Structure 1
Amino acid sequence: MRVLGINAIFHDPAAALVVDGRVVAAAEEERFSRRKHGKRPVPFSAWELPELSAAWCLASAGIDVDSLDAVAYSFDPGLCRDAAELGLSDPWDWLRIDYARRAPQFLAAALPGLDPDRVRFVPHHVAHAASAGLAAPPAGDDTAVLVLDGRGEVASHLAGVYRDGRLSPLHSQQLPHSLGLLYEDLTRHLGFLHSSDEYKVMALASYGRPKHLGLLRDLVRVTDDGGFQVERIDWAGMAKAVAAGGELTEEHADLAASVQTRLEEVILDLSRWLYDASGGASTLALAGGVALNCVANARLAAEGPYRDVWVQPAAGDAGTALGAALHVAGELGDRSTPMMGADLGRGWSDDELEAELRRAALPYTRPASIAAEAARVLADNGIVAWYQGRSEYGPRALGHRSLLAHPGDPDTTRRMNDVKGREQFRPIAPMVRAECFADLFDGVYPSPYMLFVHRVRPEWRDRIPAVTHVDGTARVQTVHPETEPLVAELLAEFERRTGLPVVVNTSLNTAGRPMVDTPREAMELFGSAPVDLLALGPFAVHRRALGGAR
């Protein structure tokens, strides 16, 4: 079966194509439109569809619209109720629902040749659940699934278990109670952009103390049936509101730490309830925007009852495009194939990359090994723009659209945050050779998608200070030669030169912009930022060849 998945209702519009139960393409609309998150999460934008990413998914697989068996839309307006009835203050929510009802007609207009009757609505949290439970590596037995986000149609949470490819829901927390909306409210209070900058709050929490934890335990409570309640919180009573771009103080870090700690506690309690309710499933799969909280994920893996915890790399709403497609494919009789990697987006051949370099009139070489060339620049404390293969699906750069740097220089964090235009309190992350992981870090292994934090072993903290956060942790990506041979080669060569099996890895973009997706965008970033080497496929463009100072 051929099923196209669509996410469009809230934010991070995306498309994914599943053929015979296997995902063959998936991409977020922001990579095409160059608008961060694709759009803002307001009712007035609900009609905006991922037209460009959907068209690319089909074209990349050589599939015509009229040959699709179904289009899966990751929201079911038939489940919705009035916002006031749900306890939400959103007077325009009816408009979002109305747009969703008309999605089949909108999609038919956006994808000429599509029969609107082929569009199927998939409940939002079922789509999230499928993106995790059906895409996770085979567990050998039942897979528990926990979804936590801001909101779906009427709920903010789903707990269930997949048995033989079928979801059995066990509990769903109704709105207005929402851990995702709680974190969004805090994000807004601290002067950041909600539904976008929650990861900044997580980073800020590392600098504070959970001094308000007692109060938050009273206001955010777990219930005996596997759900939770969130009472109205007076944020200003704990820390004054911050204007956008305003100064953050110790009281703001303490508030962030308090909410982060309470979030972790609640997730642990929910996971323990689910473990018992599922009959002791050994694997837990996570999805929903809250599952991008790598600090909470790490604590859940360390203290929870599960043998394995797997997080969908596109855990936010973008991932519901994939989940909706997998769910409908299952309804049509296909068995899902687990995800083998997040490199599901666009890619260019070597000939196409070289043509782009010639068109830009950039001086370039083709070294015998681009990995060795990049390692040499990194060992000399240079910064490398690394553009290889297909782009990543989800918010993490995983060695395909990455900025790389030396982890042993304490000044690297400042330099990288300056290059990207980021706040200086934000950490940068390491990628490490998988076979060396246990020598440097404690925590979840493997970690190919950079969705857990790990404790840096004390004897290594001074050796890799750039990737050791203020709390002694690092958000690690383990690199395995069987799945990422080129990055593994780079790491091995860097270790040969420096004795360090670790390289700094952050996303190839600058502040407020989506990750680079095309060769032209990579060259534009290289031309506008203090980057020493552009590794574009097998080709090398050196800053010094352009006459720029190193």
Structure 2
Amino acid sequence: MMKYILGLNSVYHESSVCLVGDGKIIAYAEEERFNRIKHAKISCPDNTDILPLQSIDYCLQVAGIDGQAIDKIGFSFVPQKRLQNLGIDDYPLTGTGYGTESGEQLVQQKIVTTSEQIRDYLNHPNLSFKWLDHHLCHAVSAVAISPYHESAVMVIDGIAEFETISLSYALNGKIRSIKRFTYPNSLGFLWEKIARYLGFTKYDAGKIMGLGAYGDSERFYPAFREFIELGQGEFRIDNKVLQIRSDDFSPLENLFGLQQRTASEPVILAHANVAAGLQRITEEVILDLAEFLYHQIEPRTKNICLSGGVALNCQANSKLAQQGLFENIFIPP
């Protein structure tokens, strides 16, 4: 009898499901395809318990099974690790958002109900349920379907539980961690904050990347370097300037000499210049980390797998290919 594992991702956004049977992908789906809400939901502390139920139904239907046929559930988050987010922002936080005591308590209260929710939904009270490290899941999502038996692995997103960048090495299905970066040192959150500064939403990184093509990357590059340190495998953001979790843009306005754009205002060359500077600093961070990772692996590997939201930056990926350290680059479709 086939053994089925159901993988769930739904803490933040891009809620999705993957059904694996005897080690092979049977079906997968993103919840936004069914609920018709872009990204499935807007990430916030009070909805971490919303499960991609329509995606689950679809995967079961494709496999021709019911919930009781599932042997194990894997969920791409470890709630206890999220507690590290408390008290690390060195600027005032109000309300019940991420990083506040009440917000993080709400995350915990909501997400811990997930295991029982899914057991009830599948009518499977004794179903095995396991919390899984978010960045490990990202890494496996690339490694498991890549054509390589060994590769470097780079995961870059906004935030997992607490990690923001993970550098690893994969060999024959096993992944060895080499280095991890944690909040607030996040390229993904840097893009979200700059997108909002430029009058877009936090989910508009693709638009900002496109806008940067019209700008001069030299114009605001020195300003980015005022609060971003990089080099020799290091990456740090001065969060007193960026203030990732706040709606205060005054430090950025003072640094760039440019007021935050509202959505109704026209986009001008200065906005494109900021976007271009952001793209340049992103490429420099990624190329530096890739070089660092390359030299940490013996014997050297020709392969690298990328995952996480920032891995969708096609311009940075192109520069990584041109760098020449890795002959083969795999990014999950």
Q: TM-score, normalised by structure 2?
A: 0.88
State the match for 1:501 in structure 2: none
Shift of 1:26: 1.0
State the match for 2:247 in structure 1: none
Q: CA distance change for structure 1 residues 304 and 246 in 2, over 3 Å: closer, same or farther?
A: farther
State the match for 1:130 in structure 2: 140
Which AA in structure 1 matches 2:215?
Answer: G
Mark the runs of 5 or more structure 2 residues left unpaired by the alignment: 243-250
Which AA in structure 2 matches 1:264?
Answer: E
State the match for 2:282 in structure 1: 263
Shift of 1:281: 1.6
Task: Report the Cα distance in structure 1 between the residues aligned to 2:180 and 2:33, rounded to whole angstroms.
Answer: 33
Task: Report the Cα distance in structure 1 between the residues aligned to 2:266 and 2:14, rounded to whole angstroms.
Answer: 28
State the match for 2:21 in structure 1: 19
Task: Report the Cα distance in structure 2 between the residues aligned to 1:206 and 1:223, rounded to whole angstroms.
Answer: 25
State the match for 1:283 in structure 2: 303
Instruction: Check if 1:192 corresponds to 2:194.
Output: no
2:31 paired residue among 4, 7, 29: 29
Shift of 1:116: 5.6
Task: Report the Cα distance in structure 1 between the residues aligned to 2:264 and 2:296, rounded to whole angstroms.
Answer: 45
State the match for 2:209 in structure 1: 202
Q: Are the equivalent residues in 1 in contact too, given 2:8–2:75 (CA < 8 A)?
A: yes
State the match for 2:252 in structure 1: 235
The 3-state SS of whatever aligns with 1:159 is: strand
Task: Report the Cα distance in structure 2 between the residues aligned to 1:223 and 1:186, rounded to whole angstroms.
Answer: 22
Which AA in structure 2 matches 1:253?
Answer: A
State the match for 2:313 in structure 1: 293
Task: Report the Cα distance in structure 2 between the residues aligned to 1:116 and 1:244, rounded to whole angstroms.
Answer: 50
State the match for 1:95 in structure 2: 106
Which AA in structure 1 matches 2:116?
Answer: Q
Task: Report the Cα distance in structure 1 between the residues aligned to 2:150 and 2:34, rounded to whole angstroms.
Answer: 37
Task: Report the Cα distance in structure 2 between the residues aligned to 1:186 and 1:272, rounded to whole angstroms.
Answer: 26
| 1:295-310 pair list within 5 angstroms | 295-310=315-330
Task: Report the Cα distance in structure 2 between the residues aligned to 1:126 and 1:86, rounded to whole angstroms.
Answer: 23
Shift of 1:19: 1.3
2:225 paired residue among 217, 222, 226: 217
Which AA in structure 1 matches 2:224?
Answer: L
State the match for 1:113 in structure 2: 123
| 1:150-549 pair list within 5 angstroms | 150-194=158-202, 196-210=203-217, 211-222=219-230, 224=232, 226-231=233-238, 232-233=241-242, 234-237=251-254, 238=256, 239-279=258-298, 280-313=300-333
The 3-state SS of whatever aligns with 2:282 is: helix
Task: Report the Cα distance in structure 2 between the residues aligned to 1:290 and 1:78, rounded to whole angstroms.
Answer: 25
Task: Report the Cα distance in structure 1 between the residues aligned to 2:229 and 2:126, rounded to whole angstroms.
Answer: 43
Q: Are the equivalent residues in 1 in contact too, given 2:153–2:306 (CA < 8 A)?
A: yes
Q: Are the equivalent residues in 1 in contact too, given 2:47–2:110 (CA < 8 A)?
A: no
Q: TM-score, normalised by structure 1?
A: 0.54
Task: Report the Cα distance in structure 2 between the residues aligned to 1:117 and 1:304, rounded to whole angstroms.
Answer: 47
Q: Are the equivalent residues in 2 in contact too, given 1:108–1:116 (CA < 8 A)?
A: yes
Shift of 1:83: 2.6
The 3-state SS of whatever aligns with 1:212 is: helix
Task: Report the Cα distance in structure 1 between the residues aligned to 2:87 and 2:296, rounded to whole angstroms.
Answer: 29
State the match for 1:70 in structure 2: 72
Task: Report the Cα distance in structure 1 between the residues aligned to 2:70 and 2:234, rounded to whole angstroms.
Answer: 38
Task: Report the Cα distance in structure 2 between the residues aligned to 1:120 and 1:227, rounded to whole angstroms.
Answer: 32
Mark the runs of 5 or more structure 1 residues left unpaired by the alignment: 314-550
Q: Provide Cα deviations, 1:373-399, integer angstroms capped at 9, x if missing partner.
A: xxxxxxxxxxxxxxxxxxxxxxxxxxx
Q: Are the equivalent residues in 2 in contact too, given 1:171–1:227 (CA < 8 A)?
A: no
Shift of 1:134: 1.4
Q: Are the equivalent residues in 2 in contact too, given 1:144–1:283 (CA < 8 A)?
A: yes
Q: Percent identity?
A: 31
Q: Are the equivalent residues in 1 in contact too, given 2:4–2:71 (CA < 8 A)?
A: yes
Task: Report the Cα distance in structure 2 between the residues aligned to 1:53 and 1:188, rounded to whole angstroms.
Answer: 30
Q: Are the equivalent residues in 2 in contact too, given 1:172–1:227 (CA < 8 A)?
A: no
Deviates more, 1:171-180 or 1:254-263: 171-180
1:85 paired residue among 84, 87, 105: 87
Shift of 1:193: 1.3
Shift of 1:13: 0.6
The 3-state SS of whatever aligns with 2:320 is: helix
Task: Report the Cα distance in structure 2 between the residues aligned to 1:85 and 1:270, rounded to whole angstroms.
Answer: 28
Give the paired residue count: 308
Q: CA distance change for structure 1 residues 39 and 282 in 2, over 3 Å: closer, same or farther?
A: same
Which AA in structure 2 matches 1:193?
Answer: T
Shift of 1:304: 4.3
Task: Report the Cα distance in structure 2 between the residues aligned to 1:144 and 1:114, rounded to whole angstroms.
Answer: 38
Q: CA distance change for structure 1 residues 72 and 86 in 2, over 3 Å: closer, same or farther?
A: farther
Task: Report the Cα distance in structure 2 between the residues aligned to 1:106 and 1:213, rounded to whole angstroms.
Answer: 48
Which AA in structure 1 matches 2:122?
Answer: P
